[in-house]
Amino acid sequence: MARTGLGALAALLLGWGVQGVQAHDLRPFQEAGRSHVIHEDVSPSGTEPINVETYVPAACTAKPCPLLIAIHGLERNAETARDNWIEAAERHGLLIAAPHFDRERFPTRLFQQGGVRDEADPARWLYASIERFFDRALASGRVAGTGYVLFGHSAGAQFVHRMALLMPAARFTTAISANASYYTLPLRGEAGGFAYPYSLGGTPATEVSISAAFAKPLLVMLGERDDEPTHPQLNHSRGAEAQGANRLARGRHFMAVAAAEAARLKVESPWREILVPGVGHESRRMAAAAAEALFAGR
């Protein structure tokens, strides 16, 4: 990921936090339970305050814990995205952060699609805001390790897999895309005549960057019953329909294309497809399945 100017921005944010400590501790993850923090950041919309919902288990007030960042879906409910992970946070000792990207400032082209078509500078893509928040989380002294887990469901899954493809240098240790409505196929040229967001056509992606993306862990989680071709939130654009009739079919198509492209590039990829039995388009149950896949037996 391009880092030009990010250090200066991080320093500015930290300085802003220090100035405000006397009135209110602006560092994330300082108290047990549900809370939130305002993260000032840049995006294709300009300089924006982003509300980040957080959760800290009691066990994580005495020691640093791993961080999971949850990206909400189309309804933009960051509190739900956070709360879906509370049980896993208590069981496995995790800090949870869920940024809120509201519709008014972050419409589809900026949220699910990251602002890639609006900005030539990757540092201004919305995906980069996750990295800058992680800098702030590390500075809080509460986060264990040097990376984070990134999870998204539905529209959030679109955000996550596109960030994984376009910003492979980001510090996520595992990215989890659950029940995306459609995908950006990992092909540099237009796929079936469709450029970004249906393929990487028209983006700065190169064979080197795609190979780097294939080399990092991505879990594509698919609900066995998320196969309704008439689901009210299913994308029915021509580019999406070309990937399959429903989310389950589109996810399998994405993974088949990815496997073929990784083989062509001679990358031994850790990408995995996980079918979740008996689950449809349900964010809470998909979060629970992701927690089981990642942390059970840890």
Give residue limits of the domains in the chain.
Answer: 27-180+218-230+271-295
Is the pLDDT score of 270 beyond 90?
A: yes
Is the pLDDT score of 290 beyond 60?
A: yes
Q: What is the predicted pLDDT for the residue at 296?
A: 85
Q: Is 238 helix (H, G, I), strand (E, B) or coil?
A: helix
| Tens of pLDDT, residues 54-111 | 999 999 999 999 999 999 999 999 999 999 999 999 999 999 999 999 999 999 999 9
CA 242 – CA 132 distance, rounded (Å): 35
Q: What's the topology of domain 27-180+218-230+271-295? A: Rossmann fold (3.40.50)
Locate 47 and state its tokens: 């300089």
| Tens of pLDDT, residues 123-133 | 999 999 999 99
Is the pLDDT score of 40 beyond 60?
A: yes
Locate 41 and state its tokens: 């950041």
Helix (H) or strand (E) run with residue 127 in it: helix 127-139
Is the pLDDT score of 12 beyond 70?
A: no
Q: What is the predicted pLDDT for the residue at 25?
A: 56
